[in-house]
Amino acid sequence: MSRLACQPWHVRPVSAAMISAVLAFADIHRDMGGGRTLMRLSPERATKADVILLLGGDAERATDVGLVWNDREDQLVRVIDDAALRETRLAAWEEAFDLFDAEDHEPEPARLCA
């Protein structure tokens, strides 16, 4: 067996419906220069009824998808999937909250060693 066959999928791959939803409902547009625009769905937009009716359970997953659109040619240039970054974003928050859970202990007095 190959190494790739043994790895479980943590997230679903990007589907054509997700790409269509981002093209139709994107509310985040960033100019990248050269006539290109990065289009994304915000988490607030993904909770709206029209997006949920179109995508169902994949509505939250569609917030990880970014599309680079060429305005001059009116075509899709690149599909960016940031699902792997979702875990790192959550891990940073969990580490921050762990700081508050730690019990405050008195520091041990410094010992002099000769």
Closest to 28 (Cα-Cα) out of 87, 83, 68: 68
pTM higher than 0.75 = no
Q: Residue by residue, what is the 3-state secondary structure of 25-70?
A: HCCEEEEEECCEEEEECCHHHHCCHHHHHHHHHHCCHHHHEEEEEE
Domain ranges of the chain: 16-102
Pairwise CA distance, residues 114 & 112, whole Å: 7
User: What are the φ/ψ torsions at residue 72 (nearest 5 degrees)?
Assistant: -70, -40
Q: How confident is the model at residue 60 (pLDDT cuts 50, 70, 90)?
A: confident
- The pLDDT of residue 89 is 57
Lowest mean pLDDT among 21-35, 68-82, 85-99: 85-99
Q: Which of residues 27 and 3 earns the better pLDDT score?
A: 27
Q: What is the pLDDT of residue 6?
A: 47
